[in-house]
Chains A and B, each alone.
Chain A
Amino acid sequence: MTRTEPFAQEFDALAAQLPGAGTAWLDDLRRKSLDEYEAQGLPTPRTEAWKYTNLRRLARTGFVAGEAGSAAAVTAIPEGVTVLEDAYVAAFVNGRFSAALSTLGGLPKGVEVGSLADKIANDPAALEGQLGQIVDGSALPMAALNTAFMVDGLYCHVADGVVLDKPLHLVSIGHADGAALSFHPRHLIVAGAGSVATLVESHVGSGSYFSNAVSEIVVGEGAVLNHYKLQNEGLEAFHLAANQVRLKDRAVYDGFVLQVGGRLARNEVRAHLGERVECRVNGAYLGCGEQHIDNTTFIDHAAPNSSSREVFKGVLDETARGVFQGKILVRKDSQKTDGHQLNKTLLLSAGTEIDTKPELEIYADDVKCSHGATTGELEEEPLFYLRARGIDPHTARGMLVSAFIGEALDEIQAEAPREAFEAVVNGWLDKRMEGQGPSS
């Protein structure tokens, strides 16, 4: 059979070398996922979910599957990447775990952190029934592609009742100094009942690469997971990430994604809520040049008495384009659901564009759900007020933009990651505002 979809052609040649080859359930999972991908094909704007994010350029680039060898050139975590001082570090280069760049000593008892590839090699039975269980490849073609090709990623298991004393920092480094590379990182995070953990992700890199990641995250009953992601990929990079989050009863999830990097980036968060869950899926995006940044969320209120909150704020400059798609589904028996969604975008120049699509689908009758979206330029009135006090226009604009984004960053519950993200935002703003002329 000839495979025609981009990326799929490589499968038959690679299949035998993929981790876990020969393990029946995993082979079946890969083949089923490849079928799902091929049945849907690489998404085009004709697919509703991909209407605003066009992957044409991705298909044209001709990425080759990343070889482990190209990772050897990265011998240190790049300067300025470590957004957190005090954390356990699990580092990945081109999607593959790097023991040399990782710092995982002293993990508390009951916490297992390492390479998914190693886990597949050494203990595949432990993964059966966990890996690939909560991601619906029949609706998510790029996630299905990931499942077919996945090689490595973060494996993190926190036992019931265990408190992780420091954040776990996933550092992903893309490195392509020659041919354009593709890789499909696969992360599996299982937080046991009553556990407490903070996961921070930083994604950086250089050169032309395509990272197509999937994270499967299970937060057990009554567990608390803070999950903060910085997408600061190189400006030639393509970054697609699907985060499937399963929140069991009484779980608390505080999620935030800050997207500033990438040529084209899409971060998708899909949360499935049990009963009495508190789910926060927030984010910010800063785009300039020709960047395209997409945030897509799907909050599935599958049980009663849960709350969800989404605040996404973005700033776009030059000809950057932003996309926000937020769907909230309240199923028939999910009474007393409290859902809130807000998307605000500030456009700093006339060449920018934002497509925002809120979608509420409600089948229960006793619920509270709200959504709002605004798009606009910096207002003249506050700008004049600041200038009337002697503050120059660059600084005044910077203060207002920083205040605008600050309202989203304030949603981050943990202090150290919030401060680290604020520093990233301020660095971006300083750079942007420098280039602005003195006139308004």
Chain B
Amino acid sequence: MSLLEIRDLHATVDGKPILKGVDLVIEPGKVHAVMGPNGSGKSTLSYVLAGREGYEVTSGEVMFDGVDLLALDADERARAGLFLAFQYPVEIPGVATTTFLKAALNAIRSERGESPLDAMQFLKFIREKASNLKVTDDMLRRALNVGFSGGEKKRNEVLQMAVLEPKLAILDETDSGLDIDALKIVADGVNMLRAADRGMLVITHYQRLLDYIVPDYVHILADGRIIKSGDKGLALELEEKGYASFVGAEAA
């Protein structure tokens, strides 16, 4: 059984059609990259899959691990094992990062039929994961993403992924706003989470990220549809020729 099957997905934002028939199948253990120019619908695809309000599916279906994903609320999707690493992680004053992580982890553990971790167990668990990503105790104590640098926010996203151990991780432009050192730390964190039973959907504008997170498949999204799919070589070809040649070829 495929992990994710997107069939002829159409979606609108504020009544405007953005996704116009997306088809995509992800098998467990595989990393898929979706590349596309600005306005092609990349972020819309990630929000539609995560269940954000205001992103309305008008037709098509999405099966996730055998269930109808579109019938679930955002929090139910997360508990079912879907994870979205945000392009712009939200700052939430007054909610400590650890408090947030503990609430999220225990919600997901409860869904899996596991008992919640107590404060001591949680601290031990989180410290181990955090040190790999150079997330300091100070960051964990601070309010969620408040005053974090761009790199710290993205590391925090990957930490959440490591803690919640999803079946499918969607990384929405995780490279945006990162310098090369920060990008390496984040990519290392992501690569450590590659696993035979976990799928990944890496959404990016630039090929650069794919030097570090090497995909099994690459898809080009343009004007709300996937117009070409291939292996990692497609990303290099795209880098060389630019989007215009692909989008143009499709139009012609």
Residue numbers in A under 8 Å from B90 (CB-CB): 381-382, 384-385
In contact, A385 and B75 (Cβ under 8 angstroms):
no
Chain A CB within 8 A of B220 CB: no
Which of B7-15, B101-109, B119-127, B190-198 binds A?
B101-109
Chain A CB within 8 A of B31 CB: no
Question: Which of chain B's residues 76-124 have a Cβ closer than 8 Å to chain A?
Answer: 77-79, 83-84, 86, 89-90, 92-95, 99-100, 103-104, 107-108, 111
In contact, B111 and A390 (Cβ under 8 angstroms):
yes
Bound-state CA distance A384–B84 (Å) is 11
Which of A205-213, A364-372, A394-402 binds B?
A394-402
In contact, A406 and B108 (Cβ under 8 angstroms):
no
Bound-state CA distance A392–B111 (Å) is 11
Given contacts A380-B53, A385-B89, whether A393 and B75 have CB atoms under 8 Å apart is: yes
In contact, A392 and B86 (Cβ under 8 angstroms):
no
Residue numbers in B under 8 Å from A388 (CB-CB): 50-52, 74-75, 77-78, 83-84, 86
Shortest Cβ distance from residue A392 to the other chain B in the assembled complex, whole angstroms: 5
Residue numbers in A under 8 Å from B216 (CB-CB): none
Shortest Cβ distance from residue B109 to the other chain A in the assembled complex, whole angstroms: 9
Residue numbers in A under 8 Å from B143 (CB-CB): 403
Residue numbers in B under 8 Å from A431 (CB-CB): none
In contact, B93 and A403 (Cβ under 8 angstroms):
yes
Residue numbers in A under 8 Å from B83 (CB-CB): 388
In contact, A390 and B79 (Cβ under 8 angstroms):
yes
* Cβ-closest chain B residue relative to A410: B94
In contact, B73 and A387 (Cβ under 8 angstroms):
yes
Bound-state CA distance A381–B86 (Å) is 11
In contact, B75 and A390 (Cβ under 8 angstroms):
yes
Given contacts A385-B89, A390-B164, whether A402 and B94 have CB atoms under 8 Å apart is: yes
Chain A CB within 8 A of B160 CB: yes
In contact, B92 and A387 (Cβ under 8 angstroms):
no
* Cβ-closest chain A residue relative to B111: A390
Residue numbers in A under 8 Å from B53 (CB-CB): 380, 384, 440
In contact, B100 and A387 (Cβ under 8 angstroms):
no
Shortest Cβ distance from residue A422 to the other chain B in the assembled complex, whole angstroms: 12
Chain B CB within 8 A of A407 CB: yes
Give the interface size class of chain A: 20 to 34
Residue numbers in A under 8 Å from B77 (CB-CB): 388
Residue numbers in B under 8 Å from A381 (CB-CB): 90
Which residue of A384, A385, A391, A404 contacts B103 across the interface (Cβ within 8 Å)?
A391
Question: Which of chain B's residues 38-97 have a Cβ closer than 8 Å to chain A?
Answer: 50-54, 73-75, 77-79, 83-84, 86, 89-90, 92-95
In contact, A391 and B93 (Cβ under 8 angstroms):
no
Which residue of A384, A396, A403, A440 contacts B94 across the interface (Cβ within 8 Å)?
A403
Bound-state CA distance A404–B94 (Å) is 7
Bound-state CA distance A161–B50 (Å) is 62
In contact, A389 and B86 (Cβ under 8 angstroms):
no
In contact, B104 and A390 (Cβ under 8 angstroms):
yes
Chain B CB within 8 A of A386 CB: yes
Shortest Cβ distance from residue A407 to the other chain B in the assembled complex, whole angstroms: 6
Residue numbers in B under 8 Å from A391 (CB-CB): 75, 78, 103-104, 107
In contact, A392 and B93 (Cβ under 8 angstroms):
no
* Cβ-closest chain A residue relative to B50: A388
Shortest Cβ distance from residue B60 to the other chain A in the assembled complex, whole angstroms: 21
Question: Which of chain A's residues 205-246 have a Cβ closer than 8 Å to chain B?
Answer: none
In contact, B78 and A395 (Cβ under 8 angstroms):
no
Interface centre among A381, A389, A400, A407 (most CB of B within 10 A): A389
Residue numbers in A under 8 Å from B92 (CB-CB): 382, 385-386, 400, 403
Given contacts A391-B103, A399-B103, whether A384 and B95 have CB atoms under 8 Å apart is: no
Bound-state CA distance A438–B104 (Å) is 17
Bound-state CA distance A158–B48 (Å) is 65
Bound-state CA distance A393–B78 (Å) is 12
In contact, B94 and A389 (Cβ under 8 angstroms):
no
Residue numbers in B under 8 Å from A385 (CB-CB): 86, 89-90, 92
Residue numbers in B under 8 Å from A439 (CB-CB): 73
Shortest Cβ distance from residue A412 to the other chain B in the assembled complex, whole angstroms: 15
In contact, B89 and A389 (Cβ under 8 angstroms):
no
Interface centre among B54, B75, B86 (most CB of A within 10 A): B75
* Cβ-closest chain A residue relative to B92: A382
Residue numbers in B under 8 Å from A395 (CB-CB): 103, 107
* Cβ-closest chain A residue relative to B110: A390
Question: Which of chain A's residues 355-375 have a Cβ closer than 8 Å to chain B?
Answer: none
Interface centre among B74, B86, B104 (most CB of A within 10 A): B74
Residue numbers in B under 8 Å from A387 (CB-CB): 51, 73-75, 78
Shortest Cβ distance from residue A346 to the other chain B in the assembled complex, whole angstroms: 12
Bound-state CA distance A231–B95 (Å) is 26
Shortest Cβ distance from residue B100 to the other chain A in the assembled complex, whole angstroms: 7
Interface centre among A382, A385, A390, A403 (most CB of B within 10 A): A390
Shortest Cβ distance from residue A280 to the other chain B in the assembled complex, whole angstroms: 19
In contact, A384 and B93 (Cβ under 8 angstroms):
no
Shortest Cβ distance from residue A347 to the other chain B in the assembled complex, whole angstroms: 18
Shortest Cβ distance from residue A403 to the other chain B in the assembled complex, whole angstroms: 3
Interface centre among A392, A395, A407, A438 (most CB of B within 10 A): A392
Bound-state CA distance A386–B107 (Å) is 11
Bound-state CA distance A382–B103 (Å) is 15
Residue numbers in B under 8 Å from A392 (CB-CB): 75, 107
Those 5 A-B pairs whose CB atoms lie nearest each other, nearest first = A403-B94, A390-B78, A389-B104, A387-B75, A385-B90
26 A-B residue pairings within 8 Å (CB atoms): A380-B54, A382-B90, A382-B92, A384-B74, A385-B86, A386-B100, A387-B51, A387-B73, A388-B51, A388-B75, A388-B78, A388-B84, A389-B75, A389-B78, A389-B104, A390-B104, A391-B75, A392-B75, A393-B75, A399-B103, A403-B93, A403-B94, A403-B143, A406-B94, A407-B93, A439-B73
Q: Which residues of A contact B (CB under 8 A)?
A: 380-382, 384-393, 395-396, 399-400, 402-404, 406-407, 438-440
